[in-house]
Structure 1
Amino acid sequence: MSLSGSPATRRQVLARSGALGAGIAFTGALSELFAGTAAAQSLGHHGYGPLVPDPKGLLDLPKGFRYKVLSREGDQLRSGEGKVPSNHDGMTALPGRHGRVHLVRNHENRPTAAIAVPTVDGLTYDPAGKGGCTALTLDSRNNVLSERVAIAGTAVNCAGGPTPWGTWLTCEETEDKAGTNGYTKDHGFIFEVDPTDPHRSGAVPLTAMGRFQHEAIAIDPKRGIVYETEDAFLKPFGLFYRFLPHKPEGGLGSLRAGGRLQAMRVPGVPDLSAIQETGACFEGIEWVDVPDPLATETPVRLQDFGPKGITHAQKLEGCYWGGTSVYFVSSFAHSADGSAADHFGQIWRYDPSARRLTLVIVFGPDTDVQLPGESPDNICLAPSGGLMVCEDGSGAQHVFGVTRHGEVYAMARGRQNIGTPEAPEWGEFAGVTFSPDGQTMYVNCYTPGTTFAVTGPWRK
């Protein structure tokens, strides 16, 4: 695919995807996604204009925007603990003192990873694990003040989520037990990371929150409930969970006190992919206690949830809290894999007060790889209005924006070719997040692992 020239802004019609002859639609009520964001009206019907080819060959952005490379895999960590690890994935930006920003970055390292997260005394869970997190502290101008290991010895740290008390919950997307792939401990847990002093949080698995293929979390700031997604793309598919902590008031270490893990049951719906109509709404959502959160013998999604069963969904990934509801993403569903139906991505909204689940967005059809037609992955609310979506698909890799009016526009395009000149390939984007003041977008290129800070006219 050519990396030059094509317009970045395309008008997306909010219509049934089957009624379109070509192109890609987001069907549904996009305005519902932006409830509670004061700046949601600020960005109009169009994005920020076409992407400008980057002469350095790293990152294309619209005119007026610029980037700074904060960190690249293989460089030396400023702490002197070793090299910057591979596979930059989920990330958050947390406020620090005097205008500083703390970035906490996952490394989705498997046993075959090129550069492991260096092991550090007091921060290492399993010396055989190559995953973990690194933490960067930035000043108000995005200069890197420090970069160090925040947790090590974990495995396949994919996504996670921030807490209201200023820490990061990093999630292992694996179910490997001790003795598998050389691991000395069981994996598949959530860990809490304190970016200001990682030794305060240590490397303690939050076992009551379950052992499964974790993807992302979102916390209800009023009730303290933690929602969790499970990224299982092969049948049996994953579940959507909530964790009721014994200490819902929160605070560093509070989740170690335990709680109840429950899975969502939508009455009469064993597989969410069967629902294709945006606006479809289900009342009386049930939550069922997980019989064995540690999955000592049987994976959680295979356990016995009673005669009514439980509700599954393929490839549950992004998760965030917005307004009074939690939103979660199903990246795709393929009937060939065993899903009830096919789709190119869904966004669901669960309102805990009403116990109501609503399908708010459907992605597709995929006829133009320049647009985010399939496999939405990491997703975040943008302070300038709308969403930012990291597309994990084929061809050129982009960060796409979606305005509340349904306009899809390219915000960034990767230019680091990890293939060959004859058969180019580009690493996916991940971990998109914004600084607390909304002036900087931070995003990772998964491979080669690169962390960018993007600034510009976010509020026109």
Structure 2
Amino acid sequence: MSATRRQLLARTGALGMGIAFTGALSELFAGTAAAQPLGRTGYGPLVPDPNDLLDLPKGFRYRVLSREGDPLRSGEGPVPSHHDGMSAFRGRGGGTHLVRNHENRVDAAIPVPTVPGLTYDPMGKGGCTALTVDGRLDVLSERVAIAGTAVNCAGGPTPWGTWLTCEETEDKAGTNGYTKDHGFIFEVDPVDPHRTGAVPLTAMGRFQHEAIAVDPHSGVVYETEDAFLAPFGLFYRFLPRRPLGGTGSLRAGGRLQAMRVPGVPDLSTIQETGTSFDGIEWVDVPDPLASGTPTRLQDYGPKGITHAQKLEGCYWGGSCVYFVSSFARSAEGAAADHYGQIWRYDPRRRRLTLVIVFGPDTDVRLPGESPDNICLAPSGGLMVCEDGDGAQHVFGVTRGGEVYAMARGRQNIGTPQEPEYGEFAGVTFAPDGRTMFVNCYTPGTTFAVTGPWHR
């Protein structure tokens, strides 16, 4: 049985502001650089921000790079709403290129401006913007990177330095005013978006995409599906015809497959960390374009297929891919309840292992449930954006298992009597490891955080 949330938080000295979990945390950090362990309280307590934007530990500071509604520096229009997934790429002279998703639906307050050559469907309100900052974090440029897409939630970087942005929708042409089918992945070049344009990677499937991770050795792309209704999403892999071929290689097509865990129709039923399954099977998706039936509901034969609720974050570490199930609720159709899982798949051994189970077991009002975006930190640990109720944090997890609050959002989008805070998303680090970039979803805000990361 997993320990209660309060017991685990008491052990870390972070009661009331940490994450409860059980599991072998060392497995999460495969492939990261070695680092000195942090103290018992991480970087120390969070210091209230007098500007009511972002609380950070003493010695850390932030800079606001971009806020929704402000003019894009390109002059193409205002900064769009709903800042979500994001990644950082190496620029010249110590600078950094950022590509940022905008999870806009048809009713978005501020859509991504349409730009010739970069617009897929003029009726789509989502897309990506690209920022370039220099070594001092001064913004040199900010422009549209792709437009006319829909509900751009997360995605992931490729080994060749591009961003794959994912549409979290299955709407077809004629639905919600769209003129084209949606539910695709698009490739975005952070330096020259016109080089990649607005071309859907149709062979990678049409479904409610969330995130991707690329195996840098084989070029296989793993994909999560955050389907909203039961039976829930699947975990996929895409076998590209031209693996690791650089920009444009994914347009050459390939095979889309879904993961089957023999004897396990729903991952939520697995509750004990360390539980492993060998002989994982991959089944071809009959109709990746989902022309008549969503991919998760198609016929996978008498053995069926394995589903999971809220499949979200996905990343590659060492020789394995990790993916997140943010929560499962039996009241919504899941087979069992949990507050968050992290799974590890080892492609060489064809082995799937439940690595982490998040709390809470006792008090659902405390922060820490519903892990979402995750990234590996240069310090050798992990950064987790939570997506639950109440206060919203970015949490750090050290190699030794210590959990600490790294940032807390202070932008109240509710009322003084009933405060509400926008979730964090898109946490990522500059290639030199000296700056953490992170988004507040609402109001859309992109922060750059610097400080004594080496401590």
Partner of 1:240: 235
* Separation in structure 1 between the aligned mates of residue 332 and residue 192 of structure 2, nearest angstrom: 43
Contact 1:12 1:408 in 2 (8 A): no
Which letter does structure 1 place at the counterpart of 2:233? G
* Separation in structure 1 between the aligned mates of residue 254 and residue 327 of structure 2, nearest angstrom: 31
* CA deviation after TM superposition for structure 1 residue 39, in Å: 3.0
* CA deviation after TM superposition for structure 1 residue 403, in Å: 1.4
1:188 aligns with 2:188: no
Contact 2:327 2:337 in 1 (8 A): yes
Q: Where do 1:360-399 residues align within 5 Å?
A: 360-367=355-362, 372-399=367-394
Partner of 1:290: 285
1:407 aligns with 2:407: no
Partner of 1:227: 222
RMSD over aligned Cα atoms = 1.8
Deviations 1:226-262 (A, max 9, x none): 0000001320100000000000022011000000000
**CA 1:122–1:451 in structure 2 vs 1: closer, same or farther (change >3 Å)?**
same
Contact 2:168 2:226 in 1 (8 A): yes
Partner of 2:327: 332
Q: How many residues align?
A: 446
Contact 2:366 2:390 in 1 (8 A): no
SS at match of 1:185: coil
Contact 2:118 2:198 in 1 (8 A): yes
Match of 2:41 among 32, 35, 46: 46
SS at match of 1:31: helix
Partner of 1:65: 60
SS at match of 2:27: helix
* CA deviation after TM superposition for structure 1 residue 459, in Å: 1.1
1:143 aligns with 2:138: yes
**CA 1:34–1:370 in structure 2 vs 1: closer, same or farther (change >3 Å)?**
farther
Deviations 1:105-132 (A, max 9, x none): 0000001110000000000000000000
Q: Where do 1:300-315 residues align within 5 Å?
A: 300-315=295-310
* Separation in structure 1 between the aligned mates of residue 366 and residue 317 of structure 2, nearest angstrom: 25
1:105 aligns with 2:100: yes
Partner of 1:175: 170
SS at match of 1:200: helix
* CA deviation after TM superposition for structure 1 residue 25, in Å: 2.7
* Separation in structure 2 between the aligned mates of residue 269 and residue 257 of structure 1, nearest angstrom: 33
Contact 2:314 2:322 in 1 (8 A): yes
Deviations 1:197-218 (A, max 9, x none): 0000000000000000000000
Unaligned runs of 5+ in 2: 1-7
SS at match of 2:358: strand
Contact 2:37 2:398 in 1 (8 A): no
Partner of 1:5: none
Deviations 1:20-45 (A, max 9, x none): 9xx96310000011111113444344
* Separation in structure 2 between the aligned mates of residue 37 and residue 29 of structure 1, nearest angstrom: 16
Deviations 1:346-379 (A, max 9, x none): 0000000000000000001254568643110101
1:155 aligns with 2:181: no
Partner of 1:17: none
Deviations 1:49-94 (A, max 9, x none): 1000001111000000000000000000000000000000000001
* Separation in structure 1 between the aligned mates of residue 449 and residue 224 of structure 2, nearest angstrom: 28
* CA deviation after TM superposition for structure 1 residue 455, in Å: 0.3
Which letter does structure 2 place at the counterpart of 1:401? G
Return 274-283 or 404-413, whichever deviates more.
404-413
**CA 1:233–1:45 in structure 2 vs 1: closer, same or farther (change >3 Å)?**
farther
* Separation in structure 2 between the aligned mates of residue 395 and residue 360 of structure 1, nearest angstrom: 26
* Separation in structure 2 between the aligned mates of residue 337 and residue 270 of structure 1, nearest angstrom: 16
Which letter does structure 2 place at the counterpart of 1:251? G
Contact 2:279 2:350 in 1 (8 A): yes
* CA deviation after TM superposition for structure 1 residue 402, in Å: 1.2
Contact 2:9 2:19 in 1 (8 A): no
Which letter does structure 1 place at the counterpart of 2:402? E
Contact 2:37 2:400 in 1 (8 A): no
* CA deviation after TM superposition for structure 1 residue 438, in Å: 0.6
Which letter does structure 1 place at the counterpart of 2:25? L
1:428 aligns with 2:414: no
SS at match of 2:21: strand
Deviations 1:253-294 (A, max 9, x none): 100000000000001101000000000000000000000000
SS at match of 1:169: strand
TM-score, normalised via structure 1 length = 0.94
**CA 1:12–1:208 in structure 2 vs 1: closer, same or farther (change >3 Å)?**
farther
Which letter does structure 2 place at the counterpart of 1:408? V
* Separation in structure 2 between the aligned mates of residue 212 and residue 391 of structure 1, nearest angstrom: 24
Contact 2:65 2:447 in 1 (8 A): yes
Partner of 1:35: 30
* Separation in structure 1 between the aligned mates of residue 333 and residue 102 of structure 2, nearest angstrom: 30
Match of 1:26 among 21, 30, 54: 21
Partner of 2:350: 355
**What is the percent sequence identity of the aligned residues?**
85
Unaligned runs of 5+ in 1: 1-8, 14-19
Contact 2:166 2:210 in 1 (8 A): yes
Partner of 1:6: none
Contact 1:157 1:172 in 2 (8 A): yes
Return 418-427 or 257-266, whichever deviates more.
418-427
**CA 1:128–1:366 in structure 2 vs 1: closer, same or farther (change >3 Å)?**
farther
* Separation in structure 2 between the aligned mates of residue 183 and residue 283 of structure 1, nearest angstrom: 43
